[in-house]
Amino acid sequence: MSKTKVRTALVCASSKGLGLASAHALADDGHQIIICSRDEERLKNVALTLQRPGSPKPLYFASDLSRPDQIPKLLKSIYSAVESIDILVNNVGGPPPSAAANTDYQSWVYGFEQLFLSSVLMSQNVLGHMKQNNWGRIITITSLSVVEPIEHLVVSTSSIQSVLNL
């Protein structure tokens, strides 16, 4: 009987919330887990909770995905540790609440980079390996605002609607 390949799963913004829950579910299924978020100390502690008997040791990398310039650095570090990413879970926190009438230009730019560009850049990067391996999954965690706009979350709602069109 042949041994099943261990798939590598990168879960973004995985030190708490839905990202953490996703990382645990994938770890329970026996995947090699890679987690990232801004808080390295928290990541270190979370990685310990993701270790499963017989599975590879979880890896963690501190990175701020709301800054597009950090994404290539993050991926370079990850690819120096693993051959490919088989499963990508795009996930980031949302921008602060605001209404359209009083949202400044920089808040729009930040929200777009945080919610839309991070998903695009991460997805584009892993697609090549997934195609080469003839297997891959990209999951993007968003918000209830994809179904119904949420008052005073105009930047988040607008950016998340863009993600749906990827």
Residue 95: phi and psi, rounded to 5, are -70, 165
CA-atom Rg of the chain in angstroms? 16
Could you tell me the CATH number of the domain that includes residue 26? Answer: 3.40.50.720
Question: Across all residues in the chain, what is the average pLDDT?
Answer: 90
- Cα separations in angstroms, 2 against 13, 30, 58, 69: 34, 16, 24, 41
Question: What is the structure's pLDDT at 125?
Answer: 94
Domain contains 12: yes
Tell me, yes or no, whether 67 lies in a domain.
yes
User: What is the distance between the alpha carbons of residues 75 and 55, in angstroms, rounded to a whole number?
Assistant: 22
Confidence category of residue 33, pLDDT binned at 50, 70, 90: very high
Q: Does 106 score more than 80 pLDDT?
A: yes
Asked whether residue 1 is assigned to any structural domain, the reply reads no
Report the C-alpha gap between 39 and 63 in whole angstroms: 8
Q: Which range marks the domain in which residue 119 is found? A: 8-94+107-163
Q: How many domains does the chain have?
A: 1
The per-residue pLDDT for range 45-103, each reduced to its tens digit, is 999 999 999 999 999 999 999 888 999 999 999 999 999 999 999 999 888 888 888 89
Confidence of residue 2 (pLDDT cuts 50, 70, 90): very low
Residue 81 belongs to a domain: yes
pTM across the whole model: 0.90
In a domain, 3, yes or no: no
Q: Give 55's contacts (C-beta < 8 A, 6+ positions apart).
A: 6, 27, 30, 31, 32, 33
Instruction: Give yes or no for residue 1 having a pLDDT over 70.
Output: no
Decide if 17 is inside a domain: yes
The pLDDT score that the predictor gives to residue 11 is 98
Lowest mean pLDDT among 18-22, 107-111, 127-131, 146-150: 146-150
Q: Terminus-to-terminus CA distance in the chain, angstroms?
A: 39
Domain assignment present for residue 143? The answer is: yes
Q: What is the model's pLDDT at position 154?
A: 77
Q: Find, among 48, 54, 53, 46, the residue nearest to 11 by Cα.
A: 46
Structure confidence at residue 164 as a pLDDT band (50, 70, 90) = low
